[in-house]
Structure 1
Amino acid sequence: MATGRVAEKLNERLEGREGEKDIYKISNLRKWQRQDLAKLGVIRDRDGNIVYRDENIEKRRRKYFEQLLNIENEREEMEEAQRVEGPVVKIQDREIKRALSKMKNGKASGPSEFQIEMIKLLGTEGEKWMLDILKAIWEEEEIPRN
């Protein structure tokens, strides 16, 4: 009797709009279950022949990527740029504001475990602190350890 009730509920569900979607999902699932997995990923050798054995497939992939990653590309000659001399323009507070406004919240912190939200929450005080740090790095040409 319980089987009959389950079958009735299933038939009711399949008759509606949701049932059409379910039937489509089931047919696609069965199609993929019946498909031969060997046909899905075909690896060919340089001559175009299909490679079947696992160890041969591994060798072919290795050769392919060695060739792909070791090709030397032609490079265009670049003109040598003229040196720019003169006073170095210092970092401006408006540059800090613009950069902070472009930074997205919720991003992972780097090795320093420093998150940009901390500076944004401090407002102008945080901007000033960031400006002082960047100026010190610029002048000393070294990143502080602490």
Structure 2
Amino acid sequence: MDLCGKTKPHMMYKNTEEIVGRKTCSSTGCLKAKNGNIIMKKDKILERWAEYIIYELFDDNRKHDHDVMKRNFADPPIMKDGVRAAIRKMKAGKATGPDGVAVEMIEALEEYGVEKLTSLLNEIYDTGEIPADVSRSVFIALPK
């Protein structure tokens, strides 16, 4: 307590941590393991991130051959109006994916882009083959 009878929260926290004896580190230099221990070696930190992302955060119980159903030609193809609507819903100012294509680039192509995207999407829909570049995801872990 200070002279006015009020507590000093930062001092209380520091003293509690000293008494309990927990290890502390900066947010960029360590990570907690599944069992609660602190990991400080870079290779172990990377292993833990991979384990968390693959098996906990984005666990996928589906079969991994990812069969894509081909379009039954009695079904209608993907229409330009649907592609236009999807482009309008996309949020600008976001980071690009592995392809380097930003939303703003797609929007700048206007009708030409709508035509090309519609053609590409219908080709994927007709053949059932998704290009490897489209199915690739990249995760970047950012500490809080």
TM-score (normalised: structure 1): 0.45
Greater relative CO (CA pairs within 8 A, separation 6+): 2
| Bigger radius of gyration | 1
